[in-house]
Chain A
Amino acid sequence: MLVYALKRLAYSVPMLFGVSSLAFLLLNMLPSDIAQLKAGEDATPEIIAGIRESMGLNRPLHERYIEWLGGLLHGDLGTSWHNGQTVLSGILATAPVTLSIVVLSMLLAMILGIPIGVIAALRGGRLDRALVSSTVVALAIPNFWLGLMLVLAFSLTLQWLPATGYVPLEANPALWLRHLTLPVIAVASVSVSSIARQTRSAMIENLSRDYVRTLRASGMREVSVVYKHALRNAAVPILTTFGIQFVNLSGGSIIVEQVFAVPGIGQFTMTALARNDVPVVLGILVVTAVAVVVINLLVDLMNSAVNPKVRT
């Protein structure tokens, strides 16, 4: 187990290096003159040169890259071009909001998706077809539009839940949940469907396996065969999609935050975009990548706990 964990950890390091470097190079090598963009259309060459100078853009790329990487290793994500704040402080201020949405969405996706998938697999027939069709439709609905429709129904018409805004968890848990309910539903919808589909196919596959026949033949109760044995084995492919789900939910949150005016990473990104604040955006990319790599690591470790073949 320990050996596996260390091996898996060793793979995460080049991953992180690769993603961060790719992000840096992407933002610095695209054919664009960021100084020109920041200065505006009718800026004089002197102003543009001044901007370039102040941002250090006139230094060679490799020098900037090495310096940036060095900073990264010390947890220094640089400072905003706009207000001189450190990028890290901006991220730390907004990340809890986005994380709230992502974690709640993940929980919702599990709580709804896994039972839906199991029921569809077990019952078959018309119920199965109905559930599968709903997931197909849900996968085609853009989360931001779903968010707007939810606002229309539950905020504007029924007036049950707030349409916009955010209250931190530590300030008032009840209000926190009320404000996040609709955004979470909008973000989670796609993940509920994919986890349901994944669970369904994993359950169908496992229930047709020889070991299930052996268990049934030995007189084991059907409840145990399905929920203890088949579901435990189906957990591996379901868990494996969680890394992908985390990426999807983060991306979903970034858009949906705009619908509900929730001050998370999405809004932070949009503000930085409007100001062409490259260090901020780069920092967000790197922090997200770290989060994803860590989640994938945890998922793999969980998988190895569930699946004895990985462990030994």
Chain B
Amino acid sequence: MTAETNPLTTTLAARPTGKVRRTGVTRRILRRPGAVLCLAWIAAVLIGSIVFRAFDIGQPLKQDLANSLKLPGADHLLGTDLLGRDVFSRLLYGGWETILGAAIAVVIAIALGTALGLAAGYVGGAVDAVANWIQDILITLPAILVLLAVATVMGNNIWAAMVVLGFLMSASFIRLVRASTQSAREELYVDAARVAGLSGPRILARHVLPNVIAPVVIQGSAALGTALVVQAGLGFLGLGAPPPIPNWGGMISEAAQAMNIQPWLLIPSGMMIVLTVLALNLLGDYLRDELYASRSNASDSVKTKTRTRASRVPAPAGDLLEADPDALATATDLTVSFPRDGEMVPVVSGVSFSISRGDIVALVGESGCGKTMTALALIGLIPKPGVVTGDLVVAGQRVSDSPRSFAGLRGSRIALISQEPMVALDPSFTVGSVLREALRGHGMRRADTRARAAELLAMVGIPRVDEVLRSYPHQLSGGMAQRVAIALALSGDPDLLIADEPTTALDVTVQAEILDLLRDLQQRTGMGLLLITHDLGVVADICTRAIVMYAGEIVEEADIEPLFDAPQHPYTAALMASTPVLDAVADLQGIRGIVPSPSDWPAHCRFAARCEFATEACRSAPISLGSTGHGHTVRCVRAAELDLQPPALVGAES
């Protein structure tokens, strides 16, 4: 039986409430002019109402029939009503009842909702079920109807109505607090506290409650707006303090009686409600923005004007590629940037490479090195607001940043399979319907699509093809879903297939099957394959060439044998060293440190901070990609002098 449920707040309840940045929220809020304006308005109305009520300023109850229905003027700031009373002072005088009523409702709603929500979220089980049931019941009836029913029994008693409204509105807080409590409960420190033997109530008070306060305050602000509208609605229907005491809804009702003669009268009371509710809702939005700033990442402020088409900056001499007429895809000085804190930060910078028919190229590197972004740029699927610059030629066609330029290429010349097969397929459609739609998109007659879809599934090694065609993605296993995704990618006979860590999310046994399938398909069709992976064993096993990326740039590129025989870049060597040799996982030595985040990339060698061979020269200037002959390139000033030992990996493979 909740009030006109405020969607501003309902979206909030669904939001997971894990990490909340709490530091200096007040200060940051006060730096936003809109938020300050909202606060100022709310404060002005609140203080005005208290002062006007306490001191009876402006004689809000005094009739002056000679001066009725006056427009705003020097004597009466907002004009006068039907009985010649000053509208401005009546608005503030009446604000008291309206605001206090709404506040009572919200305080009750928060107290009750928090208590029930905490219990439901913390205890779970039957308590949770009961709280859920109560909440479902409370949102079943329109609040206004319940309040009118209460008034039928209680007579004109606005305070009783507001108390009941508080009960009804507690539903949204039950849900919110329950969700927050559950997530806080999952957090490690609560487990730790439980182990340390703190009692339930103390854990709730000390560890869970603080996490719940932020979302409750945000929702409370919007709930106050909702309560205010309900309260005004009751006033409009004639409930509330008896005349001549004003309230906002009642003033609208009085104005309506005179709207034929003096329509102006509708404006002050109506706008008072609109502006106050708006201020409360917006304040809730601002609070949420600030508390969850990391999520919304106020980065959209970057002027999208920088989104020019691929700028044809000539690539630096060292990074130039020999033109290859057989190339399926050629990237030159490819850069992908995302806005962050008001500037464009590159996540892939100046990457150049080329893939030809029959190539199986590995793109390796740790997470966060820009491998996926490079691949997505190749197929024109960099998510907004990312920007791609550089020169990109796919299937002999120069493509730009505009989505249209990939229209005839995707699916038929270049295709993609991604990491998580379980979320990579549309959950609402059967495998068959998506495959057939894709086939029709590639120009096949509708009648032929059914047989071809079955053929594709058979080709990727799916047994019981008919059953799978009728299945929805959630009915498939991970390996099966990945096979379907591969079939979909192959539906347009692409020349180049990008496989973005196609096995990471799968069981170990299935991983090998999928890799075998990819290699097999590549051999059968002769297509190019760009395989993104961090498994160097796989690279050594099936690839012809490898590109090693670190922190957004290529640090080494070579054919497989020379690369594994003699890695030239310390990062490549370190990657190889940290790869488990067959099953000897025991002595796994990782690379110390982590990949720096894009905004922290240094101007000099980006690996220097983690490199055991780094010298002054590494930290003084940008390092360019240099050739060491036979198509082997490396971005390291000490490449020539270092003798990096290849790990046992390749030896074990062969």
Are A and B bound to each other?
yes
User: Which residues of A approach B to under 8 Å, CB–CB?
Assistant: 14-15, 18-19, 22-23, 26-27, 30, 32, 34, 37, 124-125, 136-137, 139-142, 144-145, 148-149, 151-152, 156, 190, 193-194, 197-198, 201, 208-211, 213-222, 224, 229, 232-233, 241, 244, 247-248, 250-252, 254-255, 258-259, 269-270, 272-273, 276-278, 281-282, 284-285, 288-289, 292-293, 306-309, 312
Closest 8 CB pairs of A and B: A219-B411, A251-B142, A194-B7, A217-B416, A140-B278, A140-B277, A308-B472, A145-B270
Return chain B residues, CB-CB under 8 Å to A208: 383
Report the separation of the CA atoms of residues A201 and B295 in the bound assembly, to the nearest whole angstrom: 14
Least distance between A260 CB and chain B CB atoms (Å): 11
Q: Which of B195-203, B421-429, B533-541 contacts A (4 or more CB under 8 A)?
A: B421-429
Rounded to whole angstroms, the CA-CA distance of A215 and B423 in the bound complex is 12
Which residue of chain A has its CB nearest to the CB of B425? A211
- Are B140 and A27 interface neighbours, CB within 8 A? no
A144–B270 Cα distance when bound, in Å, is: 10
CB contacts (< 8 Å) of A272 on chain B: these are: 152
The answer to whether A19 touches B141 (Cβ under 8 A) is yes
Best-buried of B155, B260, B403 by chain A (most CB within 10 Å): B155
A273 and B237 CA atoms in complex are apart in Å by 11
- Minimum CB–CB distance from A152 to chain B (whole Å) comes to 5
A203 to chain B minimum Cβ distance, whole angstroms, is 13
In the bound complex, do residue B475 and residue A312 qualify as a contact, i.e. CB atoms below 8 Å apart?
yes
Chain A residues with CB below 8 A from B277, complex form: 139-140, 142
Instruction: Decide yes or no: A156 and B259 within 8 Å by CB, A26-B149, A144-B252, A224-B437 being known contacts.
Output: yes
Residues on B with C-beta less than 8 A from A194 are 5, 7, 10
Contacts of A250 on B, CB cut-off 8 Å? 142, 145
Contact: A140 with B274, CB < 8 Å? yes
User: Shortest Cβ distance from B631 into chain A, in angstroms?
Assistant: 29
Partner of B381, one of A151, A216, A251, A258: A216
Contact residues in A for B270 (Cβ distance below 8 Å): 142, 145, 148-149
Contacting residues, chain B, for A139 (C-beta < 8 A): 6-8, 277, 281
- Which of B106-114, B485-493, B598-606 has 4 or more CB atoms under 8 Å from chain A? B485-493
Contact A251-B384, Cβ < 8 Å, known A139-B7, A220-B438? no
- Inter-chain pairs besides A137-B278, A278-B152, A308-B428, 11 sampled, C-beta below 8 Å: A32-B155, A37-B153, A137-B274, A140-B278, A149-B270, A213-B376, A221-B441, A244-B10, A250-B142, A251-B3, A308-B472
Q: Taking the complex as formed, is B144 at the interface, i.e. its CB lies under 8 A from any CB of chain A?
A: yes
Instruction: Determine if B366 is an interface residue (Cβ-Cβ < 8 Å).
Output: no
B10, B151, B412, B485: the one within 8 Å of A214 (CB): B485
B contact residues around A37 at 8 Å (CB): 153, 155
In the complex, which of the residues A137, A201, A211, A281 contacts B152, with contact meaning CB atoms closer than 8 Å? A281
* A292 with B425: CB separation less than 8 A: no
Could you jot down 7 A-B contacts, CB within 8 Å?
Answer: A136-B8, A144-B249, A201-B11, A247-B141, A252-B142, A273-B148, A308-B428
Q: How far is the CB of A304 from the nearest CB of chain B, in Å?
A: 12
The contact of A32 among B153, B269, B304, by CB within 8 Å, is: B153
With a cutoff of 8 Å between Cβ atoms, the chain B residues found around residue A270 in the complex are: 148, 237
B232 touches A142 (CB 8 A): yes
Question: Chain B 51-82, CB within 8 Å of chain A: the 1/0 string?
Answer: 00000000000000000000000000000000
Please tell me which one of the listed residues A125, A229, A254 contacts residue B142 in the complex, with CB atoms under 8 A apart. Answer: A254
B559 beta carbon closer than 8 Å to chain A: no
Interface string of B374-393 (1 = CB under 8 A from A): 00100101011000000000
Binds A, one of B85-93, B131-139, B210-218, B608-616: B131-139
Residues of B within 8 A of A145 (CB): 252, 266, 269-270, 273-274
Interface set, chain B 1-56, CB cutoff 8 A to A: 1-8, 10-11
Distance (whole angstroms) from the CB of B305 to the closest CB of chain A: 11
Residues of A within 8 A of B154 (CB): 30, 32
Q: Mark B416-453, 1 if CB is under 8 A from A, else 0.
A: 11101001111111000010011001100000000000
Q: Which residues of chain A have C-beta atoms less than 8 A from B488's C-beta?
A: 214, 218
Known: A30-B154, A34-B153. A148 touches B437 (CB 8 A): no
Question: Which among B141, B416, B474 is the interface contact of A289 at CB below 8 angstroms?
Answer: B141
| B348 in contact (CB, < 8 A) | no
Flag if B133 contacts A14 (CB, 8 Å): yes
The reply to whether A136 and B252 contact each other, CB–CB distance below 8 Å, is no
State in angstroms the CA–CA spacing of A139 and B416 once bound together.
43
The smallest beta-carbon distance between B539 and chain A, in angstroms, is: 23
Instruction: Return chain B residues, CB-CB under 8 Å to A247.
Output: 1-2, 5, 139-142
Partner of A211 from the list B249, B256, B423, B442 (CB cut-off 8 Å) is B423
- Find the A residue at minimum CB distance from B430: A308
Name the residue among B146, B148, B403, B418 with the largest chain A CB count within 10 angstroms.
B148
Q: How far is the CB of B646 from chain A (nearest CB, A)?
A: 36
Q: Residues 255-296 of chain B: 1 if any A CB is under 8 Å from the residue's CB, otherwise 0?
A: 110011001001001100111011001100100000000000
Interface residues of B in 290-315 (CB under 8 A from A): 304
B517 at the interface (CB under 8 A from A): no
A42 to B8, CA, bound (A): 49
Q: Is B347 part of the contact surface with A, judged by Cβ < 8 Å?
A: no
* CB-defined contacts of B549 to chain A, threshold 8 Å: none
Query: Do A22 and B274 touch across chains, with their CB atoms under 8 A apart?
Result: no
Q: Assess whether A258 is in contact with B142, with CB atoms less than 8 Å apart.
A: no
Partner of B225, one of A30, A140, A281: A140
Q: How far is the CA of A211 from the CA of B431 in the complex (A)?
A: 12
Q: A248-B4, A251-B142, A288-B141 are in contact. Are A213 and B381 (CB under 8 A)?
A: yes
Docked-complex contact A217 and B381, CB < 8 angstroms: yes
Are B438 and A308 neighbours in the complex by a CB distance under 8 Å?
Answer: no
CB of B252 within 8 A of CB of A148, answer: yes
Contact status B491-A136, CB under 8 Å: no
Contact B411 A27 (CB under 8 A): no
Alpha-carbon distance between A114 and B376 when the two chains are bound, in angstroms: 30
Contacts of B278 in A (CB 8 A): 136-137, 140
Residue of B nearest to A34 (CB): B153
B150 at the interface (CB under 8 A from A): yes
Q: Specify which of A34, A139, A151, A194 lies most central, judged by the most chain B CB atoms within 10 Å of its CB.
A: A139
Query: Could you tell me the distance between the alpha carbons of A18 and B136 in the complex, rounded to whole angstroms?
Result: 10
Residues in A with CB closer than 8 Å to B263 are: 152, 156
- A14, A151, A309: the one contacting B474 at CB < 8 Å is A309
Contacts of A309 in B (CB 8 A): 427, 472, 474
Q: Which residues of A contact B152 (CB under 8 A)?
A: 27, 272-273, 276-278, 281
B485-512 CB contacts (< 8 Å) to partner A:
485, 488-489, 491-492
A312 to B473, CA, bound (A): 12
Residue of A nearest to B492 (CB): A219
Question: Contacts of B233 on A, CB cut-off 8 Å?
Answer: 142, 144, 255
| Contact between B426 and A211, CB atoms less than 8 A apart | yes
